Amino acid sequence: MDMPHDHPKTPMRIGILPIADFAVMSYAATVEPLRAANLLAGRTLYEVVHIGVGGGPVRSSGAAVIPPDAQVGDALRLDILFVIAGGDVGGYAEPALYRWLARLSREGAALGGVSGGPVILARAGLMAGRRMTLHWEYAEALAEVSPDLAVERTLYVIDRDRMTCAGGTAPLDMMHALIARQHGASFARQVSDWFMHTEIRPPVGPQRGGLAERVGTHTPAILDAVEVMESHIADPLDLGQLAQVAGVSPRQLNRLFTEQLEQPAMRYYRVLRLARAQSLLRNSALPLTQIALATGFANSSHFSRSYAAQFGHAPSTYR
């Protein structure tokens, strides 16, 4: 089915499936607009059903605990189900959940994923042929496991009966789009204003801050070099190639990095690659050899030595 729309006369039943270690901000940004819509409308537009996995309350990455109204496997009539996940979704495996999600889809429910939730939908085989997005922290790991998926680095994507978003505050924008589609842009604006969410971002908005803000400098040569570093993680360039892209000499590029970022260009590059490797260790089940190759190291032993020198412990210990 396509996403429900056009002023439904009966309440829409929204399933919320938080996975243990979910982020409270992602959860609140998904659920609170629905509560506010009911409050502002003076009637129930959205009926929210919280769903658990395996019984008992679901604990967030912080102190919040969600008591479920139903459990995975129950026979439920849902218009949309949102899977909200964080933490180690790369190592998450629940075949019973995957089967249940597939059944809901066959029965006509739309499916959504928030933050790491799209990884679970992808692992269930439910994102094939659909455009999707997810939190940038999980994108690299998902690309290694499922390179054929149409992953976009945007805030949210609505593709027919699938809704995926990057988590954090991005669900506020996605839920604004959902409410506007069903109850009009004016009413959706009232809901957003309720949360001081006065600047509605388009779905194609970037997930991360601008390069200058992330790097901490506005020097063009440094920004050009870092931009090409980030796009050449698995196949690192040498200093001469970086300098050529930046339009300065290798010596000048090193001087700029040392003065403004307090480390030579190639050391900065290595730290960048190791940080990406740490993300893969945290969010994927890839073997160390594959992680080493994906981050530009010749083999797992070279990777392990570099990782230990940077972080003070072996990558296997971190995992």
Q: Which CATH architecture has domain 12-194?
A: 3-Layer(aba) Sandwich (3.40)
Query: 263 — phi, psi (to 5°)?
Result: -165, 150
In the numeric block, the tokens 């001469």 are attached to: 240
Is the pLDDT at 210 greater than 80? The verdict is no
More confident residue, 203 or 44: 44
Pairwise CA distance, residues 132 & 118, whole Å: 8
Q: How confident is the model at residue 2 (pLDDT cuts 50, 70, 90)?
A: low
Residues of the chain with CATH 1.10.10.60: 211-318
Tens of pLDDT, residue by residue over 211-270, are 888 888 999 999 989 988 887 888 899 999 999 888 899 999 999 999 999 999 999 999
Q: What is the percent of the chain with per-residue pLDDT over 90, rounded to a whole number?
A: 62
Angle 289-292-297 from CA coordinates, rounded to 5°: 125
* 8-12, 45-49, 120-124: range with lowest mean pLDDT: 8-12
Residue of 151, 159, 203 whose CA lies nearest to 177: 203
Is the pLDDT at 310 greater than 80? The verdict is yes
Question: What average pLDDT does the segment 176-187 reach?
Answer: 90
Is the pLDDT at 201 greater than 90? The verdict is no
Is the pLDDT at 163 greater than 60? The verdict is yes
Residues of the chain with CATH 3.40.50.880: 12-194
Q: Which residues in 23-34 are b (16+ Cβ under 10 Å) and which e?
A: bbbbbbbbbbbb
Tens of pLDDT, residue by residue over 67-121, are 999 999 999 999 999 999 998 887 777 899 999 999 999 999 999 999 999 999 9
Question: What average pLDDT does the segment 278-302 reach?
Answer: 86
Angle subtended by helix axes 220-230 and 239-246, to nearest 10: 130
Superfamily in which the 211-318 domain is placed by CATH: Homeodomain-like (1.10.10.60)
More confident residue, 150 or 134: 134
More confident residue, 204 or 96: 96
Q: How confident is the model at residue 207 (pLDDT cuts 50, 70, 90)?
A: confident
What pLDDT, on the 0 to 100 scale, is given for residue 8? Answer: 63
Q: Which residues in 201-227 are b (16+ Cβ under 10 Å) and which e?
A: bebeeebeeebeeebebebebbbbbbe
Is the pLDDT at 1 greater than 50? The verdict is no
| Strand ranges inside 19-154, DSSP E | 46-52, 58-59, 65-66, 70-71, 80-85, 110-115, 131-132, 150-151
